Amino acid sequence: MIRELIDRLNDKKFDLEAWKNHAEIYLEQIFGKDSSVIKMIRELKYDYSSWNLRDVSGAGKPANPVIVKAREILEAAAVSLQQFGIPEKQTESSRAWQLLEEELTGKQLKDLHAVIQSEDAGKQEKLATIIGTLDHEVLAKIIAGTLLP
């Protein structure tokens, strides 16, 4: 898929925005929507400032610096996949636990784990009770962290 994206950079009717949308759809499946590869693709744009137009028209400059940058991003992504394999995606659950570990005390985490691992039918109520005792600021940070990428 990455090679196909690279090949599409050479299309005579190349449309950067259409290509970026296509690239995001492909690459999000591999790297996740918040990866640095996706962020770099999203940031690709033409710079129409007078300084940049002067520099691009100069001798020895590549014909299209956006395409050059896009190609380099994709080449690096391909090498990364070859060297390290497909990155492990963080699930929403693991993200929530990461935030809980950052904000809660060791005892609070231990209590949460104990309730989750128990066979008690009233787990949800017990979890709600534990979470209900948390400081509102801590709860706000955890909820905000789960909503943001």
The tens digit of pLDDT for each residue in 26-35 reads 998 888 877 8
**Coil, strand, or helix at residue 43?**
helix
pLDDT at 118 over 90: no
Q: pLDDT at position 132, please?
A: 86
Does the structure show a pLDDT above 90 at 39?
Answer: yes
Tens digits of per-residue pLDDT, 83-102?
888 776 655 567 778 888 88
What's the mean pLDDT in 99-107? 86
One DSSP character per residue, 41-110 reads HHH------HHHHHHHHSTT--S-HHHHHHHHHHHHHHHHHHHH-SPPPPPHHHHHHHHHHHHS-HHHHH
In angstroms, how far is the first alpha carbon of the chain from the final one? 25
Closest to 96 in 3D by CA, of 107, 109, 110: 109
Of 74, 68, 86, 93, the C-alpha closest to 32 is 86
Asked whether the predicted pLDDT for residue 44 surpasses 90, the reply is yes
Q: What confidence score (pLDDT) does residue 40 get?
A: 94
Domain boundary assignment for the chain: 2-84, 92-147
Dihedral (CA of 26, 27, 30, 32) sign: negative
Of the listed ranges 19-23, 39-43, 122-126, the one predicted with least confidence: 122-126
Position with higher pLDDT, 49 vs 18:
18
Average pLDDT over residues 123-149: 85
pTM, entire model: 0.54
Question: What is the model's pLDDT at position 51?
Answer: 52
